[in-house]
Structure 1
Amino acid sequence: MLLEAIAAHAKEHPDRIAYQNQKEKLSYRQLWERAAALSVWLKKESGPVMIFGEKEIGMPISFLACLMAARPYLPVDPGQAIKRIEQIYRQSGAKTILTCGEYLAAEKLGAIFLGERYSEYHESGEISLPDNPLRDAYWLFTSGSTGTPKGVRISLAALENFVEWMLSIPAIAKCGQGITVNQSQFSFDLSVADLWPCFAAGATVWALKREEQQDLTVLYRALQQSSAVRLTCTPSFIRLCLCDEMFSQQLMPQLKTIFLCGESLPSRTVETLHERFPQLSIINAYGPTEAACAVCAVEVQERSGTLPVGEVKSAASKLLILDEDKVPLPDGTPGEIAIVGKSVGNGYVGAFQGGFGTFAGERLYCTGDKGMIRDGLLWYLGRIDRQIKYKGYRIEPGEIEAALLCWKEINAAAVLPIQKAGEVRGLAAIVEWNGKELPLSECKQRLISAIPSYMLPKRWIAVEKMPMNERGKCDFHALERMLQE
């Protein structure tokens, strides 16, 4: 379905722009022909293809070529530490390494520059496409709880199921063949929501390079030049955009939809977006890397408190809430969010089982996320594995963070344990204020009306900007280091 759709666009609209970045443009004809050329060479071997790059046009070409050659693509952010890249290389067992640019880590691993392979395709006629939908389409490595990267294997069937679901969302469908801004690196699964739905619909991806996201003036100029109808990003990124009132409908008059995923979305952010973009559709989505990017979504309006993360009936796969014995719980009861069906990936690279399993004969993934289904909506309540034991109580930091994010005076907040000699001595609230910092006494008074007293933070730290990691999410490791200083 996906490959056939891209082939059709290349034939019917060959000169339409499929992908562009700061300096380069790639038409659908160029995308298909160059990927076809590369796929012939890739078919000579098997296994994953490790691909170094940021936002070069070679990235989507190589991804498509891997799908044509029935080899999973493994995007690698060259900005990562070389030690981590070497860990990924060893775990993946990749025999083929490509690079779209000059990167030290790529050179160290003997990567082949991608441009050298375009001219090797000399066959005539149609490319024969593989027909096994259960094969791995891509591998992505995420952070592991043990400190070792964890590789996730996603099948072509799961990817195509995601694309079909994504394009069925009314707010996405109305964007048609317009331009979508890509914010995240390709080594982060949110990029899947930019690339493949756009290519399937014959739309255009406008990719933001890393340096364009580090300066607001440069970022705003790029967003204005994009003429985008859709923006896909994390809540942390959109909060960055909202730092200046210039980010408004005047800057992006054609913007119709924002698709937000990857972390909790504060209601205050939604309120500000509606103030700046009165006609904007704001989609709050949920899904882990292990289930092809996202599995459910809901259009959110201005409201106080916690926001839902998706509609259950329109989800890409079945959603369940399980107890500790993996037994489904009734609506309104908190438990672990589980996903059953086509969205679930093929497991992890190697022997690690993790949350993968089966349920009633279908693939199952237990997310480790705490949640609840109520009124036909899914509500995210934090990570189970971030639970803190303090004075005999089990505390979920996400609950405290959600309470703080309801305040209009706060842009972002994170709650971490204060530890000494391996013992939790209290909680710390790290806050990015929206203007003047509130007195500590008022903070405590507000919180005590929302949470139990034993959950009140002992220490409060104000930061100018909440740190973000390479995936565009809150960098909890950086915050932990801050607490130790």
Structure 2
Amino acid sequence: MPLTDMLVAACAAHSNRTAVTDDGTDYTYAQLARASARIAAALIDRGASPGDAIGLLAPRGWWRCVAVLGIWRAGAAVVALDPALPPERLARIAVGSGAALVLRDGAVPSVGTGPDAPWAEITVQDLHRTADDGPRPSLTGPVAYAVATSGSTGVPKCVAVPPVVLEDLAAWHLDTWDRPETPRTTHAASVGFDVGFQELVTTWSAGGTLVVVDDKARRDPFLLAALLADQAVVRAFLPVTSLHALAVAVPVTGHRLTALREIVVSGERLVVNEEVRALFADLDATLVNQYGPSETHVVTEHRLTRPPAQWPVHPPLGGPAARAELLRRTGGVLAPFTEGDEAELVVAGRCLAVGYLGDDRLTADRFRELPYTGGDRRRGYLTGDLVRMEGGLLHFVGRIDDQLKVRGYRVEPGEIEAVLAAVPGVRQAAVIGRGEDRTTALDAYVVPDPDRPVDTAVLRAACAAVLPDYMVPARFVSVAELPLTANGKVARRELGNLGTGRD
């Protein structure tokens, strides 16, 4: 069933149930259906049509939930715009996505509507108020959403994901949910993170309730523990770092998470420590490890079963999820993994993104039509992740390039390096990751102009003006030159030995 039809049918089937709980207020599926229909009708009156990209600048909450479904019902794509990002970056994302309209929560500052802005802007509230109760559209366009990821060229790139990806993901969750409870689920993912759409679709398709988690509770594990207990949350989607913090906080707070049945983690490599094992020893819950780049959403899943004391430090990525095909290249031909194979993971199947909006060249480079063993061809996404098949499951080995993960977000060092290189007084810059698996923080190594030294505060301010906070380096190290490999590339492994920097 098409995505919008599936969600509209869920609204009709569960009309009296609570679809969203936000700041102490419960909103029913009937309210969700009415409000989203009015927004869709108003968008269509303004000229929106299937295939259009509409920026959505709003924090997590009832209005954003309504707007997402309203945009989908108009057949348009949601371009996720996070109010926490610098205005310049928001503008770059809006332009890069080709959005002609930005739909904004009235409580959020404008992304910018000067005479040179290529988009119109209106608030969600005003659009809802001016809409009539006419026909209730339910269209499905070629793209469901677009999320921005770090780009190696120095600008963010927008990944366009078709509705079928969310349709298959919803079906996968419904098939694998083996608990009698309705999945009352946290809505805590960062606005620009694709997991946020997973939270919405997988919960609404099951007739469950989305429990909105504000930014304060999302960042404070003690407040999060209280919310999980008070709201009787059944399922939570969390970054790995949040899981670790929650595992420390729960014993301190004394909260009993008796309703919790599943915690789903993704975004970065799962590390199971003693606190996590102790947390799950006291829970009747499953820990689910999911993996998938923005270009595919979820493609693997591994469910950790009891006893937690036997869980490995690094659990496997697992097997295929949501109809994904997990392949490797051998001699230029795609083939399934067999036991002992170690290779770059290539993902094929219905889970693939359409590509990168406005960048056909990059799309052609990362999404390729390749011959498949047996004679036909597959369109595959080259993930850049090196994996190994062991015990019938895929295990993460590392990256084949310089891409990093920080707090679950993809980071291309080249994007930060481009910002630093543009600062007057900087001749060269290189950025590396620090900590286990290079995921803890970022260090920037800068070669200054001897005749024009640059202060660390200036470097930090330049980054903060255009980059999200997780991409601002924690340390800046001034060096006379960058070490090079025999091929003339920056020897990133040697950078950590060049001296200490200033936080």
Give the deviation of 1:226 after TM superposition: 1.5
Aligned in 2, Cα 1:420/1:115: closer, same or farther, shift over 3 Å?
closer
Aligned in 2, Cα 1:232/1:216: closer, same or farther, shift over 3 Å?
closer
Aligned in 2, Cα 1:470/1:201: closer, same or farther, shift over 3 Å?
farther
Give the deviation of 1:73 after TM superposition: 0.7
Amino acid at match of 1:13: H
Per the alignment, residue 501 of structure 2 pairs with: 484
Per the alignment, residue 167 of structure 1 pairs with: 174
TM score, norm. by length of structure 1: 0.76
Decide whether the 8 Å contact of 2:225 with 2:249 is kept in 1. Answer: no
Q: Measure the CA separation in 1 of the matches of 2:6 and 2:129.
A: 24
Give the deviation of 1:23 after TM superposition: 4.2
Decide whether the 8 Å contact of 1:241 with 1:247 is kept in 2. Answer: no
Structure 1: stretches of 5+ with no match in the other structure: 389-396, 403-411, 423-468
Question: Are 1:401 and 2:402 matched, yes or no?
Answer: no
Give the deviation of 1:205 after TM superposition: 0.7
Question: Are 1:297 and 2:309 matched, yes or no?
Answer: no
Aligned in 2, Cα 1:284/1:61: closer, same or farther, shift over 3 Å?
same
Decide whether the 8 Å contact of 2:57 with 2:105 is kept in 1. Answer: yes
Q: How many residues align?
A: 411
Per the alignment, residue 458 of structure 1 pairs with: none
Q: How does 1:21-420 map to 2 (within 5 A)?
A: 21-43=22-44, 44-46=47-49, 47-106=52-111, 108=113, 111-123=121-133, 127-130=136-139, 135-169=142-176, 172-174=177-179, 176-246=181-251, 250-268=255-273, 270-277=276-283, 279-291=284-296, 293-301=297-305, 302-312=310-320, 316-322=323-329, 325=332, 327-328=334-335, 330-350=338-358, 351=360, 352-353=362-363, 354-359=365-370, 360-386=376-402, 401=436, 414=440
Q: Measure the CA separation in 2 of the matches of 1:84 and 1:418.
A: 20
Q: Measure the CA separation in 2 of the matches of 1:325 and 1:338.
A: 12
Give the deviation of 1:211 after TM superposition: 1.8
Decide whether the 8 Å contact of 2:104 with 2:110 is kept in 1. Answer: no
Partner secondary structure for residue 251 of structure 2: coil
Per the alignment, residue 440 of structure 1 pairs with: none
Q: Identical aligned pairs, as a percentage?
A: 22
Give the deviation of 1:18 after TM superposition: 0.6
Question: Are 1:13 and 2:14 matched, yes or no?
Answer: yes
The two structures, once aligned, show a CA RMSD in angstroms of 3.1
Q: Measure the CA separation in 2 of the matches of 1:42 and 1:254.
A: 39
Decide whether the 8 Å contact of 1:175 with 1:230 is kept in 2. Answer: no
The 10-residue stretch of structure 1 (35-44 or 107-116) with the greater mean CA deviation from structure 2: 107-116
Amino acid at match of 2:357: V
Q: Measure the CA separation in 1 of the matches of 2:94 and 2:188.
A: 25
Partner secondary structure for residue 289 of structure 1: coil
Decide whether the 8 Å contact of 2:60 with 2:187 is kept in 1. Answer: no
Decide whether the 8 Å contact of 1:36 with 1:121 is kept in 2. Answer: no
Structure 2: stretches of 5+ with no match in the other structure: 371-375, 405-431, 449-466, 478-499
The 10-residue stretch of structure 1 (109-118 or 342-351) with the greater mean CA deviation from structure 2: 109-118
Q: Measure the CA separation in 1 of the matches of 2:111 and 2:82.
A: 10
Decide whether the 8 Å contact of 1:401 with 1:415 is kept in 2. Answer: no
Give the deviation of 1:100 after TM superposition: 1.6
Partner secondary structure for residue 246 of structure 1: helix
The 10-residue stretch of structure 1 (57-66 or 99-108) with the greater mean CA deviation from structure 2: 99-108
Partner secondary structure for residue 20 of structure 2: strand
Give the deviation of 1:305 after TM superposition: 4.0
Aligned in 2, Cα 1:147/1:69: closer, same or farther, shift over 3 Å?
same
Partner secondary structure for residue 213 of structure 1: helix
The 10-residue stretch of structure 1 (333-342 or 102-111) with the greater mean CA deviation from structure 2: 102-111
Amino acid at match of 2:153: T
